[in-house]
Amino acid sequence: MTDRAWDKLIQALPIVLAGPILRHVTAESVTVWVALKQPAEVELTIYETTNQGTVLGTSILQGRYPTVALGKSLHVVAVTAKSNGNNLNSDRLYAYDLQFSFDDPQQSPKTLQQALQSIDFPRVNISYFAHQKPTFVLPPHRLEDLRIVQGSCRKPHGGGYDALPILDSLIEDRAAQPQHRPHQLFLTGDQIYGDDVAEPFLWVASPLGDALLGWEEKLPVGWREPDDVEYYTPQQLPFGRRAEVATTHAGFTAGLHNKRGKVNSHLLSLGEYYACYLLAWSPTCWLMQIPPGKQISDRRQISRRWDREARALRQFIHTLWKVRRALANIPTYTIFDDHDVSDDWNLNRAWCLRVLGRPLGRRTVQNALLAYAMFQAWGNTPEQFTAGQAGAELLAAAADWSSSSGTDTVAYDRIARYVGMPLIDAQTNLPTFVEDGTVLILKRHPEAIAWHYTVRSHCHETIVLDTRTWRGYPIEEKSSAPPMLLCPTAFEQQLRLPLQQSASETQIQLTFAIAPTNVFHLQAIDWIHHWQLRRNKVFATDVGDAWNINLEALAQLLIVLFEQRRQVIVLSGDIHYSSMVRLTRKSNLGESNSVLTQLTCSALKNEETLTRIVHTRLKDWLLPERVRHWKGWSNPPNMVELSAPQSRRDPDSHPSHPPDWNCTLEWIPRQNARTPSFGNDVTWLISPRKQANSSKRHWLQFLCFWQSPLLQEGREAIGRNNLALVQFQLAETSHSYTAIQDIYWFSTWQPTQIVYSRFKSHLADRPSLPNKA
């Protein structure tokens, strides 16, 4: 398709390309992110509501901000409305609207509803009420009223139905009930996939990205710059044929070990990463029908793969309207994991040297981080993007880079500085490492944006960890050795300081910590990781992304958490199954016992054959999870699993003096699936044509033993695409809470039915916030 044809398609689109997405919300401020096809000044107005949200009241907060030009037809903004004394209250429904003003005097201002519509999109439903305004509610004062949603790992062509639209049903079911509708959404990693991209997806994203930018990026392909680099545009690196350039020239590891298909359509350009976000969050930019495979290739294998991926994408697109509405109506917070950039991102020192030592690898990582900053980080921490802050400098640099059509090297270097790209040694062209205690860390500019942050409300706090860019790589071990997921400096800045800052806030009843990668895995995964580590095949199964592979880091995590808190809940994803585990730490030094509860939720859309097996009774029949035990020391931090074979073989792995504490880990069994009030009414899930075909085969489901509840009701994990709702129950006879994680998924015995499985676990008794025992 020609550039003129793409411009014509974009001109036919509504003004709003993606969003609005409700982001950081406190009693004093509200931030909303939106992407437009033309520049505008965006005004955000917050309204009170009455009659259970059905009637708009007076406006109480306002804010305005101009969009930032990321391209000729891509302008984004995270606009914040701040309080002038009229703070928002919990347990009340609020609504908001956006107004868009344009430089062109011939173009009148538009409301949000007007900007969402066009000839091709005459009706866009963004609200649960007749007034057509998105609504939200602040977290409550009491922990037993809190409702938090979490999810991770959403690959558009991944197996199974997309579970994120279930959030829309959860909100809609309780939209008028502020104490019962979800209060916050945490997306804990892999919101997009830079690697493992479907060919039809890149077929759309690559030219769309160029059209939005208005220019074609020149990607440096070669080994060392400037002597051995040639420049290619994204269109010269077509979908389905990028394995060689992604693996050899960019250095990415997702395609190693005979997995070239994972990088055949790897995102590389800035426009592709921008487009990927728009296509993941909104149906608007899916401009064209995906053609059948026979029009793409006359080779049967390629044609069939294309058709298989295209079917998955069409299903994904079919429910995007529900995703869009949900994200507009709940405060949303995110953090990256590896796939937001590329598989294995910063996994170990070997990956850093391999990828960041190549021009194309560095360019792609920087493009991914810039896109993350514009589409995710700005809404997480809007205060970092105000005037005089590093984020504001990054916004200006991003606009300069685009206005120069990717030729302004000063702007490019400024982007590298503010997104925290590792500094490169001028002589070796390799990333620079510096010592941080006993480990090495990537050296970056001190003005770089902080990706970690903390969200506090009346009854809880959430500490969101950056376990990707602040890793500590062992100095004296080989470059593929598993790192500390947080180096000593990161432990201090991301955990200890936030915990100390809120220690005096006695109204905070519970601390959440978001760790994108699991603290504790299934025992079988640990075995595989240790086996692959001994064989030096660390990229095959992401060896190094598990906290309990580096026991020094795991011990340090527990020590820092339990210095100030007796009970902590870790929210996690990454692993493509959902579960609940409880770790109890008993001190031998006279301190009170402490409890860490890990709530894992994954994947929103990426179920696989292995996770489907883990989901069933076969897992706990053949390989049940056992209670596991560790002993640990605080100075220096270390811990040893009592039953681990590697510990028995290595007598020097632990000190000779008695342990300071002991830990016990148990897996909480899930209850049998139930059907929520909205679970049977899922006509929105599949198209009418597919519904007709499904009804003809519905009776066959009862003849398939594999799909039956008897086999599917496993006890330890949910391996189907899922979404988690976390809430708490206060015991009537004590001050202790029970944590409840309801995992929503699509049943196999009736595929157009939503069910949920419940995990429940007691927390420690309610503490005074510092651990004074």
Residue 113 pLDDT > 50, yes or no?
yes
Task: Tell me the average pLDDT across 171-187.
Answer: 96
Residue 346 pLDDT > 70, yes or no?
yes
Residue 506 pLDDT > 80, yes or no?
no
- Please tell me the distance from the alpha carbon of residue 319 to that of residue 561, in angstroms, as a whole number: 39
Task: Tell me the average pLDDT across 282-305.
Answer: 91
Residues facing residue 77 across a β-bridge:
34
Express each pLDDT in 132-145 by its tens digit. 999 999 999 999 99
Q: Residue 661 — pLDDT band, cuts 50, 70, 90?
A: very high
734 CB-near residues (< 8 Å, 6+ apart): 765
Tell me the three-class secondary structure of 342-358, residue by residue. CCCCCCCHHHHHHHHCC
Q: Residue 740 — pLDDT band, cuts 50, 70, 90?
A: very high
The whole-number pLDDT of residue 236 equals: 95
H or E stretch covering 199 = helix 199-213
Domains of the chain: 3-136 (2.60.40)
In 3D space, the residue among 711, 727, 729 whose CA is nearest the CA of residue 719 turns out to be 711
Residue 626 pLDDT > 80, yes or no?
yes
Question: Are 111 and 36 a contacting pair, CB within 8 Å?
Answer: no
Residue 79 pLDDT > 70, yes or no?
yes
The whole-number pLDDT of residue 120 equals: 83
Residue 742 pLDDT > 80, yes or no?
yes
Give the tokens for residue 196. Answer: 């493992």
The whole-number pLDDT of residue 772 equals: 39
Residue 692 pLDDT > 70, yes or no?
no
Q: Which pTM does this prediction carry? A: 0.95
Q: Residue 764 — pLDDT band, cuts 50, 70, 90?
A: confident
Question: Are 607 and 726 a contacting pair, CB within 8 Å?
Answer: no
Query: Residue 586, SS3?
Result: strand
Q: Residue 171 — pLDDT band, cuts 50, 70, 90?
A: very high
Higher pLDDT, 85 or 365: 365
Name the residue with tokens 């500019």: 445
Question: Are 401 and 408 a contacting pair, CB within 8 Å?
Answer: yes
Q: Residue 769 — pLDDT band, cuts 50, 70, 90?
A: very low
Give the tokens for residue 421. Answer: 């790209």
Residue 649 pLDDT > 60, yes or no?
no
E-strand ranges in 347-415 read none
Query: Residue 577, SS3?
Result: coil
Task: Tell me the average pLDDT across 547-566.
Answer: 92
The whole-number pLDDT of residue 766 equals: 47
- Please tell me the distance from the alpha carbon of residue 378 to that of residue 279, in angstroms, as a whole number: 19
**HSE-up of residue 542 (Cα within 13 Å, Cβ side):** 21
DSSP assignment of 101-140 equals E-S-TTS--EEHHHHH--SS-S-----SSTT---EEE---
In 3D space, the residue among 174, 181, 117 whose CA is nearest the CA of residue 148 turns out to be 181
CB atoms within 10 A of CB 104: 9
pLDDT mean across residues, the chain? 92
Residue 344 pLDDT > 70, yes or no?
yes
Task: Tell me the average pLDDT across 555-574.
Answer: 94
Task: Tell me the average pLDDT across 374-402.
Answer: 97
Give the tokens for residue 233. Answer: 């545009």
- Please tell me the distance from the alpha carbon of residue 60 to that of residue 438, in angstroms, as a whole number: 52
Express each pLDDT in 47-62 by its tens digit. 999 999 999 999 999 9
**Picking from 205-219, 289-303, 337-351, 495-509, which range would have the lowest pLDDT averaged per residue?**
495-509
Task: Tell me the average pLDDT across 73-96.
Answer: 94
Polymer length in residues for the chain: 773
- Please tell me the distance from the alpha carbon of residue 265 to that of residue 243, in angstroms, as a whole number: 7
Q: Residue 693 — pLDDT band, cuts 50, 70, 90?
A: low
Residue 28 pLDDT > 90, yes or no?
yes
Express each pLDDT in 414-439 by its tens digit. 999 999 999 999 989 999 999 999 99
**Picking from 341-345, 583-587, 649-653, 661-665, which range would have the lowest pLDDT averaged per residue?**
649-653
CB atoms within 10 A of CB 31: 27
**HSE-up of residue 214 (Cα within 13 Å, Cβ side):** 16
Name the residue with tokens 């429904």: 93
The whole-number pLDDT of residue 697 equals: 56
Residue 701 pLDDT > 70, yes or no?
no
The whole-number pLDDT of residue 430 equals: 94
Burial of residue 229, with CB atoms counted within 10 A of its CB: 0-12 exposed, 13-18 middle, 19 or more buried:
middle
- Residue 492 region by backbone torsions, left for phi larger than 0, else alpha for psi between -120 and 50, else beta: alpha
Question: Are 486 and 458 a contacting pair, CB within 8 Å?
Answer: no
